[in-house]
C-alpha cells in the first residue's frame, strides 16, 4: 500500500515521503526510534557536544568558567553596567571565531548586530592585530618542527569576515532577526551571532507592554532556533537596570522577568573593587562561578593581577 493512501495527516505523509518511505512495506520493518529522525540518545548528544568547539574569549579564567569558551548551539546572554566591557567582549568573540582550526579555533565568520553604535572599526582592528600577533607568537613557540604554512591572516581579512548590521529601531531589529535564517543558510561559515545590545530599542515606551513581551519572546525563539539548527553561538549583550525588591535596590538585567527565561546561559559582568569579574548566573551545564578578566589595548585578556600565563592552544 502506498504511503499516500494511509490515513495520516498531510504533514506526516509529506515527512515520510521526503524521508524516502513510499510504501507500507518499507515502514513495517522499522522501529519507532528509526523513524524519530530528530531524536537522539543522550550518549549521542554528549558526543556531539564534544565535537562542537567553543569560542575562546582570550581570557583563560573566563574560558574556564565557561567550560572552555562560548558554546555553539546555545544562546548566551551577557549583561553588565556601561563601561564594563560588553562591547569589547562582543568584538573579541567576533574576532576569535575566525581563529583558524589549526590554532584551536573555528575558522568561521561572525555576524555583528549593532543597535547602539558602539562598534568602532579602529578598535576591531586593534583587537584583530593583537589576535594575529598572539597566533604568530604561538606559531614561533610551538611549531618550529612543523612544516605548517605561515599564518597568512591580515587584520583586513578579519574585518571582511564580520558581517556587520546596524539597526536603528525595534522594527528593524525584528526584521533582521527574521532574515538571519536565510542569510545564514547562504553563509554557512557563520558560527557566531552577536547582538550589541539586544535591549536598547526595547526600553522606549511601548503603549502596550504585552506587545513588547510578545515581540521579545518572538526574537528569543528565533535566535534559539538559529543556534540549534545552524550549530552556531548566539551572544546577546544586555544592559542592567535596578529593581526594587523588599525596600532596597538590586541590579538586574534589563527586559524583565519573562525575558530572563529566554536564554540558555547568563553571564553577568561586574566590578569587584578595581577588577572586572564575570559571573555565571545561569547555565544548564556550568557551575556558578566567577572569573576575573581585564580589558586591554589588545582586547579581553587575563586579569593583570594573576601571573602571566602562556596560552597553549
Partner 1 sequence: MTPENLLLRPLITQKCTLGCPVLDRCLGGGIPCNSITELVAESGCGKTQICLQLALTAQLPIPLGGLSASSIFIHTEFPFPSRRLHQLSLAFRSSHPPIFGGDPCDYIFVQGVHSVDQLLGILTKMEQFVENSRAQLPVRLIVIDSIAALFRSEFDNTPVELKRRSSLFFKISGKLKSLAKRFGLAVVVTNQVVDLVGPEGINGLRIGNLASLCSSGRRVCPALGLAWANCVNSRLFLARHEEVDKEENELVDVNLQSTRSRRRLHVVFAPHLPESCCEFVITRKGIFGVEREQNAAKRNEA
Q: Which one of residues 38, 82, 140, 247 is an interface residue with partner 1 (CB under 8 A)?
A: 82
Contact at 8 Å (CB) between 191 and 39?
A: no
Is there binding between residue 201 and partner 1 (CB under 8 A)? yes
At residue 160, the 3 state secondary structure works out as helix
Provide, rounded to whole angstroms, the least separation between the CB of residue 25 and partner 1. 48
Nearest-CA neighbor of 268 among 254, 278, 256? 278
Binding mask 126-165 for partner 1 (x = CB under 8 A): ------------------------------x--xx-xxxx
- Residue 214 to residue 199: CA distance in whole angstroms: 14
* Element containing residue 133 per DSSP (H, E): helix 121-142
Torsion from C-alpha of 164, 223, 41, 48, nearest 10 degrees: 10
Among 70, 93, 109, residue whose Cα is nearest residue 196: 93
Residue 222 in contact with partner 1, rule: CB under 8 A: no
Nearer of residues 44 and 160 to partner 1, judged by Cβ? 160
Interface region with partner 1, contact rule CB under 8 A, candidates 26-34, 47-55, 98-106, 246-254: 246-254
> What does the DSSP 8-state code read for residue 262?
S
CA 253/CA 243 separation, integer angstroms? 9
* CA-to-CA separations, 172 to 176, 202, 209, in angstroms, rounded: 6, 12, 19
- Closest to partner 1 by CB, 110 or 291: 110
Nearest approach, Cβ of residue 188 and partner 1 (Å)? 15
Tell me whether residue 122 or residue 145 sits nearer to partner 1 (CB atom): 122
**Cell numbers found for residue 90:** 562582543
With contacts defined by CB under 8 A, name the span among 40-48, 109-117, 130-138, 281-289 that binds partner 1.
109-117
> Among 187, 280, 173, 271, which Cα is nearest to 223's?
173
The residue written with cell numbers 548551539 in the block is 73
Binding-site size for partner 1 (CB under 8 A) equals: 49
174 binds partner 1 (CB under 8 A): no
Contact 269, 282 (CB under 8 A): no
**Residue 303 binding partner 1, by CB under 8 A:** no
Q: Which of 42, 43, 51, 122 binds partner 1 (CB under 8 A)?
A: 122
Stretch that binds partner 1, among 112-120, 132-140, 211-219, 256-264 (CB under 8 A): 112-120
CB of 253 to partner 1, least distance (A): 12
Q: Per-residue x/- mask for partner 1, residues 272 to 291, rule CB under 8 A?
A: -xx-----------------
CB-CB contact of 299 with 91 (8 Å): yes
Cβ proximity to partner 1, 50 vs 186, nearer residue: 186
Q: Please report whether residue 123 would count as binding partner 1 according to CB under 8 A.
A: yes
C-alpha cell of 72?
555553539
Interface residues with partner 1 (CB under 8 A)?
A: 81-83, 87-88, 111, 116-125, 156, 159-160, 162-166, 168-169, 175-176, 179, 183, 199-201, 203-205, 239-242, 244, 249, 251, 254, 271, 273-274, 296-297
Amino acid at each position: 500500500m502506498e504511503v499516500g493512501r494511509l490515513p495520516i495527516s498531510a504533514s506526516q505523509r509529506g515527512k515520510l515521503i521526503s524521508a524516502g518511505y513510499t510504501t507500507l512495506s518499507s515502514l513495517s520493518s522499522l522501529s519507532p526510534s528509526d523513524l524519530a529522525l530528530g531524536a537522539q540518545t543522550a550518549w549521542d548528544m554528549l558526543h556531539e557536544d564534544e565535537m562542537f568547539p567553543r569560542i575562546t574569549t582570550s581570557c583563560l579564567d573566563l574560558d574556564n568558567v565557561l567550560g572552555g569558551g562560548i558554546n555553539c548551539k546555545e544562546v548566551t546572554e551577557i549583561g553588565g553596567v556601561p563601561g564594563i566591557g560588553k562591547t569589547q567582549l562582543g568584538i573579541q568573540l567576533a574576532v576569535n571565531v575566525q581563529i583558524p582550526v589549526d590554532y584551536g579555533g573555528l575558522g568561521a565568520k561572525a555576524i555583528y548586530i549593532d543597535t547602539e553604535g558602539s562598534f568602532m572599526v579602529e578598535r576591531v582592528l586593534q583587537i584583530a592585530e593583537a589576535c594575529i600577533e598572539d597566533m604568530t607568537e604561538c606559531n614561533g613557540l610551538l611549531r618550529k618542527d612543523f612544516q605548517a604554512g605561515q599564518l597568512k591572516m591580515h587584520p583586513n581579512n578579519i574585518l571582511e569576515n564580520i558581517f556587520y548590521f546596524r539597526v536603528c529601531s525595534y522594527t528593524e531589529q525584528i526584521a533582521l532577526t527574521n532574515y538571519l535564517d536565510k542569510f545564514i543558510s547562504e553563509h554557512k561559515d557563520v558560527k557566531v551571532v552577536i547582538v550589541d545590545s539586544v535591549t536598547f530599542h526595547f526600553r522606549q515606551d511601548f503603549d502596550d507592554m504585552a506587545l513588547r513581551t510578545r515581540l521579545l519572546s518572538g526574537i528569543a525563539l528565533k535566535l534559539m532556533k538559529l543556534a540549534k539548527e545552524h550549530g552556531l553561538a548566539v551572544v546577546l549583550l544586555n544592559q542592567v537596570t535596578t529593581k526594587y525588591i523588599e525596600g532596597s535596590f538590586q541590579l538586574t538585567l534589563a527586559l524583565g522577568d519573562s525575558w530572563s527565561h529566554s536564554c540558555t546561559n547568563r553571564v553577568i559582568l561586574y566590578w569587584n573593587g578595581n577588577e572586572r569579574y564575570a559571573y555565571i548566573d545561569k547555565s544548564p551545564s556550568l557551575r556558578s562561578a566567577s572569573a576575573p578578566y581585564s580589558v586591554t589595548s589588545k582586547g579581553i585578556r587575563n586579569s593583570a593581577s594573576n601571573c602571566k600565563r602562556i596560552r597553549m592552544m
